[in-house]
A and B are shown apart, each in its own frame.
Chain A
């Protein structure tokens, strides 16, 4: 089940930095936001990267697999189709919910870590897996609040999820860092307890503190502390890939190349 395919070091492809991504040195793979791409009309830049043989991985943000509702099959079919046309080795989304009670939060919301919520999540992930033709990976999110009455730790919750569904993990070390800062979670304990043999790849991103709260903005430089967490992960397992996410306030190509180099130095 586990793809042993090496991914290397990658960056999130965004339309605003398409040419940058094409010419940056040291880009072994890219990720695209699934909702922003039409499988029938792929951006030229993405086609070019595929022609060069770079793996392009679709990453979804709207499946809401942690939501109470059964997953919206249309959204999953879009992701599946995109993974097929990109010939992607895997597809992913987050352990979260985004919609409830007719409202759209507009962001990734944490799921209560209860057995009941886990059962629903497992059922939803299985539906996604039935539709996808490639392995499905799920990412840990950065949360700003915690549900009361958790029955499982985050490691237990994610561990049981992977065990029951066979899904892979997309470990975001920047999100782990954010949760350490904002929720006093212990990121090293989480790394110790996660089934790291199931890691598909790793996310790294920047953020900043604002009014005492650390925000995982993806629009600021990557903090050394986040790279240290990456190094801690690498001490425990060799991840098949590590990808830099940048979603705005784009720096120069030189700065982005330096961030990719800093990542490569840690793995």
Chain B
């Protein structure tokens, strides 16, 4: 009975989340200023959680933490079913691939894998 309603609502909600989480186009009728405020707030919340899980990485990056996390977060929005720990790990890997953190030696990699 609610299927057509569900389908339309699903499109609207997905469009809004894409705009907020991935810099997708602003959905029609929304105030762009408010979208920006909400996008920033969601990113800040996600960033705080990652900083809590990886305090050393956050400290190492210092002033670069916020801009780098913003870049990462827009490229890789949290997907359904992902956990905060996965997010933190993915961010660290993303940083290493781009040379923002020293690459791990083979034995550090092995230890990191073991600890998962």
Q: Find residues 205-219 in chain A having any chain B CB closer than 8 Å to their own CB.
A: 213, 215
Shortest C-beta distance, B28 to chain A (Å), equals 7
**A144 at interface (Cβ–Cβ under 8 A)?**
yes
Q: Of all chain A residues, which has the CB nearest B1? A: A123
Number of interface residues of B (CB under 8 A): 37
Q: Find residues 112-167 in chain A having any chain B CB closer than 8 Å to their own CB.
A: 112, 116-117, 119-120, 123, 144-149
Shortest C-beta distance, B58 to chain A (Å), equals 16
Which residue of the partner chain, among A104, A123, A215, contacts B82 with CB atoms under 8 Å? A104
B79 touches A213 (CB 8 A): no
B35 touches A68 (CB 8 A): no
A232 to B86 CA separation, bound complex (whole angstroms): 44
Binds A, one of B5-13, B59-67, B89-97, B103-111: B5-13
Q: Of all chain A residues, which has the CB nearest B48? A: A248
B30 touches A107 (CB 8 A): no
**B37 at interface (Cβ–Cβ under 8 A)?**
yes
Residues of B within 8 A of A107 (CB): 41-42, 45
Which residue of the partner chain, among A102, A109, A116, A213, contacts B9 with CB atoms under 8 Å? A116
Q: Interface residues of B: mostly helix, strand, loop or mixed?
A: helix
Which residue of the partner chain, among B18, B29, B42, contacts A106 with CB atoms under 8 Å? B42
B79 touches A117 (CB 8 A): no
A144 touches B18 (CB 8 A): no
Residues of B within 8 A of A69 (CB): 6, 10
Given A103-B18, A144-B37, A145-B34, answer yes or no on A116-B8 (Cβ-Cβ < 8 Å): yes
A105 touches B42 (CB 8 A): yes
Q: Mark A57-94, 1 if CB is under 8 A from B, else 0.
A: 00000000001111000000000000000000000000
Given A102-B80, A103-B79, answer yes or no on A117-B18 (Cβ-Cβ < 8 Å): no
Residues of B within 8 A of A146 (CB): 31, 34
A106 touches B38 (CB 8 A): no
Q: Interface residues of A: mostly helix, strand, loop or mixed?
A: mixed
B6 touches A101 (CB 8 A): no
**A177 at interface (Cβ–Cβ under 8 A)?**
no
A103 touches B45 (CB 8 A): no
Given A68-B7, A119-B5, answer yes or no on A145-B38 (Cβ-Cβ < 8 Å): yes
Shortest C-beta distance, A43 to chain B (Å), equals 19
**B57 at interface (Cβ–Cβ under 8 A)?**
no
Given A68-B13, A105-B21, A107-B45, answer yes or no on A116-B5 (Cβ-Cβ < 8 Å): yes
A106 touches B5 (CB 8 A): no
**A99 at interface (Cβ–Cβ under 8 A)?**
yes
B13 touches A97 (CB 8 A): yes
Residues of B within 8 A of A67 (CB): 13
Residues of B within 8 A of A97 (CB): 13
Q: Find residues 1-33 in chain B having any chain A CB closer than 8 Å to their own CB.
A: 1-2, 5-10, 12-18, 20-22, 28-31
A181 to B45 CA separation, bound complex (whole angstroms): 20
A106 to B13 CA separation, bound complex (whole angstroms): 14
A102 touches B31 (CB 8 A): no
A116 to B11 CA separation, bound complex (whole angstroms): 13
**B74 at interface (Cβ–Cβ under 8 A)?**
no
Given A68-B9, A99-B80, A119-B5, answer yes or no on A145-B14 (Cβ-Cβ < 8 Å): no
B interface residues with partner A (beta carbon < 8 Å): 1-2, 5-10, 12-18, 20-22, 28-31, 34-35, 37-38, 41-42, 45-46, 49, 77-82
List 10 contacting pairs A-B, 8 Å CB cutoff, sorted by A. A68-B9, A100-B16, A103-B79, A105-B21, A106-B49, A109-B13, A120-B6, A144-B37, A149-B29, A213-B37
